[in-house]
Amino acid sequence: MTTYVIQFTYVAAAALFILSLKWLGHPTTARRGVRVGELGMALAIVGTLLHTEIVSYQWILVGFVLGSAIGLPLAVFMPMTHVPQRTALSHAFGALAAALVGTSEYYLRSGELSTFTMAVLSVEVILGFLTFTGSLMAFGKLQDLVPSRPIVYPGQNAVNLSLLAAAVGCAVYLVRNPGSSALFPVVAGLSLLFGVLLLIPIGGADMPTVIALLNSYAGLSAAAMGFLLDNNLLIVAGALDGSSGFILSVIMCRAMNRSFTNVLFGGFGQVRVAAGAVEQRSARSATAEDAAAILEAASSVIIIPGYGMAVAQAQHKVRELYDALTRRGVDVKFAIHPVAGRMPGHMNVLLAEADIPYDRLVEMEEINPEFPRADVSLVIGANDVTNPAARHDKASPIYGMPILDVDKARTVMVIKRSMSPGFAGIDNELYYMEKTMMLFGDAKHFVGELVKEMTGARLGA
């Protein structure tokens, strides 16, 4: 009887999880999606606690309490700029859980493991451990505990690949001879090491792709656990997570015009020394007063926020600017490049936090046709995604990358600390265009100045 109850809760949970993701698809139904997901989770947990194999609840309770004590503060107090770090940590947690369950199953059942079971167990353990250390490294890089510049050395790919090959080789041997338990720690150790080495050459600019990829791995290790424990709910949830991470990493790769292999083995993001002679070009700088006058006279303005805006904590000032312009009847939109921010969709969350209505946030494909009609495009803390060289300069490392057509607006304004190159170390020709005004200064401070000019002018009038 209890078996039926448990089975029922699992089927219901699987259905609720799918509905949950479906409702998440649109902002108006998204919160309903979360509720439904929570309900599914609660059902599945209650169902599991009825399991007849469970003889003691003591350690389960300890785990519940400790886990909630870790998870809740991370979710409640984490600033929105740090969501990528939290996400990396949660991938690490999920992957570790899967790897440990696999490990414990191995030692419990090593005598009686069939070839298939041992194979999924190996997949679970290898993916779990490498995602665990890989995600911890991603966390370290995002949090600046580990240098976020890519670290490359000659033969790096050969070393990494042979490590992975060694881990897989040992696992294959284990599949043939599940009893040789001396090899199991070797597989685990090699996977842990591979996770670290995999992340070392990855630069900050590639973090969105890598986080999405680790998300996919964490999901796949959960699905492998489902195969191992013969639990369809785990398979469904793991497959959903795995496909979601995969789709997101494909979107990120496309947005940067890179392939998976290039992200993982390319060591992108190093400062490249320009081959040709650097010609002295001059940029035109302007004051807040000049800029404010042009903005006020505009009828449509497109703001291009980049991660630099979030670093400067300027999003709330940007909201004030948005308010000031909207009050004057200026049509203000925000152009969001898919890789703006440090994880997929990050910029939208940062702007939503600053109370900017989400219907003003427009994705790249939709906003690009609007640039030629815009009076001003205002770039705040974005760089490479606005570089016109990506469209025409075949020698540029970012050639072919889809960019925001910022340069097509009547006037271009760029708020920037200095003329230094961005993440990828590439000079941006946007800055030297005739119609570009460089507004030098800290993003938060400068946007504040703009707002002051505008509200001051209004009071004076």
Partner 1 sequence: MPSNLESALFVFLLATFVGFEVIRRVSPLLHTPLMSLTNAISAISLVGSIVITGAEKSQLSVILGTIAVVCSMANVVGGFVITDRMLKMFKKREPRQ
Q: Of residues 76-105, which lie at the interface with partner 1 (CB under 8 A)?
A: 76, 78, 80, 83, 86-87, 90-91, 93-94, 96-98, 100-101, 103-105
Instruction: By CB under 8 A, name the one of 11, 74, 163, 457 that touches partner 1.
Output: 74
Which stretches within 200-231 are classed as H helix?
Answer: 207-229
Alpha carbon distance 34, 152 (integer Å): 41
Residues 129, 303: Cα–Cα separation, whole Å? 42
All residues at 6 or more sequence positions from 154 whose CB lies less than 8 Å from its CB, including other chains: none
| Shortest distance, position 451 Cβ to partner 1, whole Å | 15
Q: Give whichever of 231 and 368 is closer to partner 1, judged by the CB atom.
A: 231
Q: Which of residues 305-344 bind partner 1 (CB under 8 A)?
A: 323, 326, 336, 338, 343-344
Q: Which is nearer to partner 1, 151 or 349 (CB)?
A: 349
Residue from 211, 256, 367, 406 touching partner 1 (CB under 8 A): that is: 211
Q: Apex CA 86: angle with CA 82 and CA 91, to 5°? A: 145
Supply the minimum distance, in Å, between the C-beta of residue 382 and partner 1: 16
Residue 355 annotated among the catalytic residues of the structure: no
For partner 1, which stretch binds (CB under 8 A), given 53-61, 401-409, 418-426, 438-446?
A: 53-61
199 neighbors 151 (Cβ within 8 angstroms): no
Tokens found for residue 241: 């997570």
Annotated catalytic residue: which of 241, 384, 407, 427? 384
Residues 104-163 that bind partner 1 (CB under 8 A): 104-105, 107-108, 114, 116-117
Is there binding between residue 31 and partner 1 (CB under 8 A)?
Answer: yes
Q: Find the binding residues for partner 1 in span 229-258 (CB under 8 A).
A: 229-245, 247-248, 251
Under rule CB under 8 A, which residues in 350-409 are in contact with partner 1? 352-353, 355, 357-359, 361, 363
> What is d(CA 47, CA 55) in angstroms, rounded to the nearest whole number?
15
Choice from 345, 388, 421, 425 touching partner 1 (CB under 8 A): 345
Q: Which is nearer to partner 1, 46 or 161 (CB)?
A: 46
What is the closest distance, in whole angstroms, from the C-beta atom of residue 301 to partner 1 in the complex? 16
Q: DSSP letter at 343? A: S
Instruction: Find out whether 439 and 414 touch, Cβ atoms under 8 Å.
Output: yes
Nearest residue to 32 via CA among 41, 23, 22? 23
Q: Binding residue for partner 1 (CB under 8 A) from 2, 7, 8, 34?
A: 34
User: From the CB of 166, what's the least distance to partner 1, in Å?
Assistant: 24
Q: Quick one: which of 127, 188, 213, 218 contacts partner 1 (CB under 8 A)?
A: 218
Which CB atom, from 104 or from 259, has the smaller least distance to partner 1?
104
User: Whole-number minimum distance, CB 120 to partner 1, in Å?
Assistant: 9
Smallest gap from residue 90 Cβ to partner 1 (A): 5
C-alpha to C-alpha distance for 433 and 417, rounded to whole angstroms = 18
For partner 1, which is the closer residue by CB, 101 or 164? 101
The answer to whether residues 233 and 226 touch, using CB atoms and an 8 Å cutoff, is yes
Q: Pick the binder of partner 1 from 134, 195, 204, 219 (CB under 8 A).
A: 219
> Distance between CA atoms of 272 and 266, rounded to whole angstroms?
13
User: Which part of the chain contacts partner 1 (CB under 8 A), choosing from 55-63, 274-282, 413-421, 427-435?
Assistant: 55-63
Give me the sheet containing 436-440, strands edge to edge: 361-363, 331-336, 300-305, 376-380, 411-416, 436-440
Applying CB under 8 A, what is the total number of residues that bind partner 1? 112
Angle 443-460/288-297 helices, nearest 10 degrees? 60
Nearer residue to partner 1 within complex by CB, 183 or 352: 352
Q: Rounded distance, CA 71 to CA 99, Å?
A: 19
The DSSP result for 364-417, as a single string, is HHHHGGGGGG-SEEEEES--GGG-THHHH-TTSTTTT-----GGGSSEEEEEES
Residue with tokens 């990358």: 401
Residue of 33, 195, 381, 448 that binds partner 1 (CB under 8 A): 33
- Region of 17-25, 199-207, 386-394, 435-443 interacting with partner 1 (CB under 8 A): 17-25
Burial 131-140 (b: 16+ CB within 10 A, else e): bbbbbbbbbb
Closest CB to partner 1 among residues 21, 433: 21
Residues serving a catalytic function are 384
